[in-house]
């Protein structure tokens, strides 16, 4: 049997909340406990000696743009601890010794060696969110249980005793673990790891997880060897083999959560992006090392949580990066100088509001012009030294618990065709456009068809082909609506046409991009991965080879025509989209097509990490040599041969290609065939070359260059 605790959607009422049970491996599920549309379940533990005895923690929570951290907003009359002894058929609420007031999020653990012993970390509407450094103190005698904290039961949950006030940031953590060999060893997860050696009376934080990244959300203790522990935090996975005295951080898991990505114009170009609770980083898209791209090639540009980055296209050392709520900085990589350039209101003026991840944009017409989004739009003409407010409040004006907290802009675009044609979108669903650099604004939100106004605008993108054309992505998963919403306008927002067509249901759209070389090529990043359309959104196909992971940002490198994909969970991927940009309807209708060949760069490869071991991740470099693509409309009965010749027409080598229908790739490693007695051929010289595709009687040719490394 398998049981699942379902909190359900925290953005709106629903009946998916509750406890579920399956007896057929997950083929069917039965709801075995339902409280109400506002209260779900957040934790579930089983008696190790009796699978019919389970304990569950119910949690009432609602979350919008302005709530999440206030205990009073996270408690309810039905929340608390529940127990079943008959496999979920009946449940009773546990209460004796627990706080007699509305409860919030709770965490549970049962002791393996003696299932009579349980621990719980309990939140109430009176929980005091103290600094974590204060929690190393003993609990007061007869401590007031109303504030919540750590509780213990020695009789299978029938009665409880409070031990300590410890309850770190409940909505974010609320997890407790028991050492499987010693019930006096207790761990509570928080910004740091809290460890107790006296059964929860006191907790130490200074030596529980040395060297582990902050914000611990998971902890597993090996039931056969309590010295072996695995922790999960905002920094990844950590391993301990000495009960937490020391921790190892394996770096072979590419699991970064990128909010946004950007590129520079170096050779090879560098990629920048901001990560959840890991700052903003930069690293090369390729290296001259045989190992490829490793973590050692990356460096941190800015601390805090990381979000949008922008790179000056004329100066690769000039980076704009921001932390949470608009902490914008201009970083000079050559000098290391980092200057705060966040717009500030004048004396006596109300504070500006900024999003958790505030959008930055460098003007495609002048990189000294920087746009930054708060509750209005800011523009600097001198790289952030001075700012002008070029709009009124572009949101609905709703404020949160403090004057500087509320609805804000989430996306900015400027037309590559005409300067000062500006677009913005906000987290309260507004879409607005200015055609004169911000002097006047038009609200085009109401023209978006068949989408409720309660929505989040995830992207507005201006077209590279027509001044009045733009693309709009809307995300409503916070409103219990996970459908994809994607639109195009050709009249400055006067009308919008849906273009989500056959994008999968249940996958919100986080980003959309248009190829600057092919108006029919659109790319959409969704909850289910990357999708590609070759007909302006009429039909979408999932890009093959990428995992099913949320894609939060997309950038096509303007020179190298590679797509940089920022995912929220699987780091960054880079793929060559040059052939897709040439894949027009005419090209795909032809029996055979040989695509343009990008210049191939000749460079020496070197090995640098021969002693690095196996727990290091290395992304492979792009293939060395000339990359050639061809397309067959149908399977070919004739052999497919690709002949490489020099500029004088002398044949150098012949490559054999697949005869199957579809798009195919061949790589010529810039060498001639090996001579007799040799394993590899000779490298060719830089210069002009010709690729000749031969399929039956059809012969197609493309010229390309082999260039020496700079």
Query: At residue 586, what are phi and psi to the nearest 5 degrees?
Result: -65, -40
Among 234, 231, 221, 216, CA closest to 173? 216
Bridge-based pairing of strands 562-567 and 431-434 is: unpaired
pLDDT for 5 = 79
Cα angle: 262, vertex 618, 611; to 5 degrees: 140
Residue count of the chain, please give it. Answer: 710
**Are the C-beta atoms of 33 and 41 separated by less than 8 Å?**
yes
Picking from 176, 160, 179, the residue whose alpha carbon sits closest to that of residue 107 is: 176
Q: How far is CA 440 from the centre of its chain?
A: 35
Cis before 301 (ω within 30) = no
User: Read out DSSP for 371-413?
Assistant: EEESSSEEEESSTTSS-EE-SS--S---B-SSTT-B--EEEEE
Give per-residue pLDDT as tens, 672-689.
Answer: 998 887 888 999 999 999
- Are β-strands 118-124 and 103-110 bridged in parallel, bridged antiparallel, or unpaired? antiparallel
> Residue 36 has what pLDDT?
92
Ranges of residues in the chain with a pLDDT under 70 are 8-15, 64-73, 128-143, 206, 399-405, 608-613
**Would you list the DSSP string of 220-249?**
EE-TT-TT-EEEEETTEEEEESSTTSS-B-
Q: How many CB atoms lie within 10 A of CB 368?
A: 15
Distance CA 124, CA 79 (A): 10
- pLDDT for 141 equals 45
CATH architecture, domain defined by 594-708: Sandwich (2.60)
Element (H, E) at 314: none
* H/E stretch holding 364: none
pTM: 0.94
Coil, strand, or helix at residue 477?
helix
């Amino acid at each position: 049997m398998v049981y699942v605790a379902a909190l359900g959607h925290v953005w709106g009422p629903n009946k998916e909340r509750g406890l579920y049970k399956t007896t057929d491996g997950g083929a069917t599920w039965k709801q075995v406990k339902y409280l109400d549309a506002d209260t779900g379940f957040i934790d579930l533990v089983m008696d190790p000696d009796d699978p019919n005895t389970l304990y569950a923690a119910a949690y009432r929570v609602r979350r919008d743009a302005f709530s999440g951290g206030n205990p009073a907003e996270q408690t309810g009359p039905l929340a608390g601890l529940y127990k079943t002894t008959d496999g979920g058929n009946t449940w009773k609420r546990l209460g004796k010794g627990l706080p007699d007031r509305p409860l919030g999020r709770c965490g549970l653990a049962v002791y393996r060696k003696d299932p009579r012993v349980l621990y719980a970390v309990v939140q109430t509407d009176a929980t005091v969110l103290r600094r974590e450094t204060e929690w190393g103190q003993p609990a007061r005698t007869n401590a007031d249980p109303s504030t919540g904290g750590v509780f213990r039961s020695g009789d299978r949950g029938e009665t409880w005793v409070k031990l300590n006030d410890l309850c770190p940031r409940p909505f974010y953590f609320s997890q407790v673990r028991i050492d499987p060999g010693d019930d006096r060893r207790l761990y509570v997860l928080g910004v740091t790891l809290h460890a107790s050696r006296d059964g929860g009376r006191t907790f130490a934080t200074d030596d529980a997880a040395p060297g582990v990244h902050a914000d611990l959300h998971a902890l597993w203790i090996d039931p056969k060897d309590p010295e072996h522990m695995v922790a999960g935090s905002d920094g990844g996975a950590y391993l301990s083999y000495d009960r937490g005295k020391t921790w190892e951080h394996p770096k072979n898991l590419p699991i970064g959560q990128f909010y946004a990505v950007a590129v520079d114009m170096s050779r090879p170009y560098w990629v920048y992006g901001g990560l959840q609770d890991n700052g903003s980083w930069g690293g090369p898209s390729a290296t001259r090392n045989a190992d490829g791209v490793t973590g050692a090639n990356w460096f941190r540009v800015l601390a805090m949580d990381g979000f949008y980055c922008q790179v000056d296209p004329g100066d690769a050392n000039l980076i704009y990066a921001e932390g949470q709520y608009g902490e914008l900085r201009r970083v000079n990589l050559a000098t290391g100088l980092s200057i705060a350039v966040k717009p500030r209101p004048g004396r006596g003026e109300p504070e500006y509001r900024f999003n958790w991840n505030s959008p930055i944009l460098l003007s495609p017409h002048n990189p000294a012009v920087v746009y930054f989004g708060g509750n209005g739009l800011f523009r600097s003409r001198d790289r952030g030294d001075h700012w002008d407010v070029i709009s009124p409040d572009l949101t609905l004006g709703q404020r949160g618990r403090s004057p500087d907290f509320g609805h804000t802009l989430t996306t900015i675009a400027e037309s590559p065709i005409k300067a000062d044609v500006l677009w913005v979108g906000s987290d309260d669903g507004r879409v607005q456009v200015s055609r004169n650099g911000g002097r006047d604004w038009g609200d085009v939100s109401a023209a978006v068809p068949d989408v409720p106004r309660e929505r989040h605008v995830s992207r507005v993108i201006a077209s590279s082909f027509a001044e009045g054309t733009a693309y709009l992505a809307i995300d409503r998963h916070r409103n219990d609506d996970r459908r994809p919403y994607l639109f195009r306008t050709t009249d400055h927002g006067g009308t919008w046409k849906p273009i989500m067509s056959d994008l999968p249901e249940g996958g919100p759209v986080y980003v959309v991009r248009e190829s600057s070389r092919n108006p029919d090529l659109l790319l959409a990043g969704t909850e289910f991965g990357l999708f590609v359309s070759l007909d302006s959104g009429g039909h979408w196909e999932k890009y093959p080879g990428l995992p099913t992971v949320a894609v939060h940002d997309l950038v096509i490198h303007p020179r190298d025509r590679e797509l940089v994909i920022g995912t929220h969970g699987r780091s960054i991927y880079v793929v060559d989209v040059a052939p897709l940009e040439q894949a027009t309807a005419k090209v795909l209708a032809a029996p055979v097509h040989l695509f343009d060949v990008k210049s191939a760069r000749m460079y020496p490869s070197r090995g640098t990490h021969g002693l690095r071991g196996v727990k290091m991740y290395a992304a492979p470099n792009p293939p060395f040599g000339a990359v050639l693509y061809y397309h067959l409309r149908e399977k070919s009965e004739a052999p497919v041969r690709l002949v490489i010749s020099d500029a004088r027409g002398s044949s150098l080598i012949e490559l054999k290609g697949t005869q199957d229908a579809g798009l195919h790739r061949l790589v010529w490693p810039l060498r001639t065939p090996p001579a007799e007695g040799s394993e590899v051929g000779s490298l060719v010289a830089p210069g002009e070359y010709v690729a000749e595709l031969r399929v039956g009687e059809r012969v197609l040719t493309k010229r390309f260059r082999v260039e020496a490394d700079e």
